[in-house]
A and B are shown apart, each in its own frame.
Chain A
């Protein structure tokens, strides 16, 4: 295999390339049509404002909500911050308890930590071993003073889809604000905010073939959700988020979400077939474990642990593939993925996990190349692994007295 070849990109959950159709639409809004959408007194401003509103309508259409319910932000991290801090601060006289899950993105978890420092109380729920939330355990965690619940739609590491429809029924009945981080789900899973009882939903453009640096927050109008602004200034976006709107970025997000709406049904099936081909290819190997439920899962994600192979050497052996590892071995202290640990995976399996995320530009050749490469490299590393040798000799590694160091 040619090592000089550019790596094959199988990390679409980290970010996606901007679709060329999106990039083409953005460019004029940087040069010819540079007006400030907030300028009311001349044509430069009017045309920019119109472009922003068209894009807002496209975002709203993908998730079936009113365009008036969409507020532009810099991305899903900012949307999560605005939703959680904004709601907690506004409703703090009602209660001080919030609920989330241990497998949430850091943008939610770290915001929750900040709210704890401010005096709020947060419950972090464990997922089931398949990665999903148990609704009975969720209901048991609710308190009379619970004001906000935040559960992500699609998990970024293992791709499982949480039952946000049923969570929404529970929270709405109790008048609790329900926030959903949907950064990983737009264009991958249908979202219908007329049907879902979700109050706040975070979106990102760059996970859906749009540009980085732009996102949105859905803020429900009926029943009305109130937020305390986090960014103060010129009162843009009805005061929810001040700051001059980046017209070109917004146009890009609108076009990316329009394409997602039109092409999602066909794209989902094509990518699911490729993912299943990858899974089938890998299943020929011994001692591999799929992390997370396979049924309640987005079609483009596959997260697999390769037993008896250490994660860093695995990544080192696969430089022809751009994939993510569950192991962050950038320092002497190895830190396995907190998501996989929350599922109850042991350290070794968490360390040896690889996340493959396929996308719009992945081909069957890419998948076949990846399967052959993985078989070869993992075979080589296992031939070198004393743990694999012991496993093959029938030794139960749990009975071995290791000299921890």
Chain B
């Protein structure tokens, strides 16, 4: 598999790897994918009072393209309002990273991760607007 230079750069020097504490003010989490499919992405955003994403972090289990896609979106969402971030499309991600057709699903997953994080934000902080994309809260699921 030949990777583009941008994928290799993000894989070797991933941006914003890590986690925020979930209870932290303004933090929302989106987790998408499944281990059996070979990709799981966790994207967290930290939103200030003005509705601007001041920081973002990710963790990804997946191939180099999945890691690069999630690393890229953490850079892109920073400084954007939540509504602006919601306009990021997988096609932008795939184009920026020059993903081959078999890796397009990685960019779709990254878009889903943004949507899921935003949905979590809206649920937590503005009373649960319905936004496309689901969020998984593993810690709650695991408690049963």
Q: Write the residues of chain A forming the contact surface with B, with a CB cutoff of 8 angstroms.
A: 308-313, 316-317, 329-332, 334, 346-348, 351, 383-390, 393, 395-397, 399-405
Q: Is B79 an interface residue (CB 8 A)?
A: no
Contact of B33 among A308, A383, A405 (CB under 8 A): A405
Asked if B105 and A331 sit within 8 Å, CB to CB, the answer is no
From A329, A331, A334, A400, name the one whose CB has the most chain B CB atoms within 10 angstroms.
A400
Contact of A310 among B32, B38, B134 (CB under 8 A): B38
A334 to B105, CA, bound (A): 12
Q: Is B136 an interface residue (CB 8 A)?
A: yes
A317 to B59, CA, bound (A): 16
Asked if B109 and A312 sit within 8 Å, CB to CB, the answer is no
Asked if A402 and B136 sit within 8 Å, CB to CB, the answer is yes
Contacts of B144 in A (CB 8 A): 399
Interface of A, secondary structure class, is loop
**A334-B14 contact in complex given A310-B63, A400-B141, C-beta closer than 8 Å:** no
**A403-B39 contact in complex given A313-B62, A313-B63, C-beta closer than 8 Å:** no
Q: Is B41 an interface residue (CB 8 A)?
A: yes
Contacts of B67 in A (CB 8 A): 313, 384
Contacts of A351 in B (CB 8 A): 38
Q: Is B142 an interface residue (CB 8 A)?
A: yes
Contacts of B108 in A (CB 8 A): 405
From B41, B102, B103, name the one whose CB has the most chain A CB atoms within 10 angstroms.
B102
Residue of A nearest to B31 (CB): A386
Contact of A386 among B14, B41, B112 (CB under 8 A): B41
Contacts of B1 in A (CB 8 A): 312, 329-330
Contacts of A388 in B (CB 8 A): 61
Q: Is B50 an interface residue (CB 8 A)?
A: no
Contacts of B39 in A (CB 8 A): 310, 405
Contacts of A395 in B (CB 8 A): 138-139, 142
Sample 20 A-B pairs with CB under 8 A, ordered by A number.
A313-B62, A313-B64, A316-B63, A329-B1, A334-B37, A347-B35, A347-B36, A384-B17, A385-B60, A387-B61, A390-B138, A395-B139, A399-B142, A400-B138, A402-B40, A403-B136, A404-B36, A405-B33, A405-B37, A405-B108
Contacts of A405 in B (CB 8 A): 32-34, 37, 39, 105, 108-109, 112
Q: How many residues of B contact A (CB 8 A)?
A: 40
B:54-69 near A, CB below 8 Å:
59-64, 66-67
Residue of A nearest to B62 (CB): A310
**A316-B31 contact in complex given A310-B39, A383-B17, A400-B136, C-beta closer than 8 Å:** no
B:91-108 near A, CB below 8 Å:
101-103, 105, 108
A329 to B63, CA, bound (A): 9
Contacts of A384 in B (CB 8 A): 14, 17, 59-61, 67
Q: Is B20 an interface residue (CB 8 A)?
A: no
Asked if A400 and B3 sit within 8 Å, CB to CB, the answer is no
Residue of B nearest to A332 (CB): B102
Asked if A313 and B136 sit within 8 Å, CB to CB, the answer is no
Q: How many Å from the CB of A399 to the closest CB on chain B? A: 5
Contacts of A309 in B (CB 8 A): 61
Contacts of B134 in A (CB 8 A): 403
Residue of A nearest to B1 (CB): A330
**A386-B60 contact in complex given A316-B11, A329-B1, C-beta closer than 8 Å:** yes
From A331, A385, A397, name the one whose CB has the most chain B CB atoms within 10 angstroms.
A385
Contacts of A311 in B (CB 8 A): 38
Contacts of A397 in B (CB 8 A): 35
**A386-B102 contact in complex given A330-B1, A402-B33, A404-B36, C-beta closer than 8 Å:** no
A401 to B144, CA, bound (A): 12
Q: Is B42 an interface residue (CB 8 A)?
A: yes
Q: Is B19 an interface residue (CB 8 A)?
A: yes
Mark B115-144 against chain A: 1 for CB-CB distance below 8 A, else 0.
000000000000000000010101101101
Contacts of A308 in B (CB 8 A): 61
B:1-50 near A, CB below 8 Å:
1, 3, 11, 14, 17, 19, 31-42
**A387-B33 contact in complex given A309-B61, A312-B64, A400-B141, C-beta closer than 8 Å:** no
Asked if A402 and B59 sit within 8 Å, CB to CB, the answer is no
Contact of A387 among B14, B19, B40, B101 (CB under 8 A): B40
A401 to B141, CA, bound (A): 7
Contacts of B141 in A (CB 8 A): 399-401
A155 to B139, CA, bound (A): 41
Q: How many Å from the CB of A332 to the closest CB on chain B? A: 4
Contacts of A329 in B (CB 8 A): 1, 38, 63
Given A312-B38, A332-B101, A405-B34, 13 extra CB contacts under 8 A: A309-B61, A310-B63, A312-B63, A316-B11, A331-B102, A334-B37, A387-B35, A395-B139, A397-B35, A399-B142, A402-B36, A403-B32, A405-B37
Contacts of B66 in A (CB 8 A): 310, 313
Residue of A nearest to B19 (CB): A389
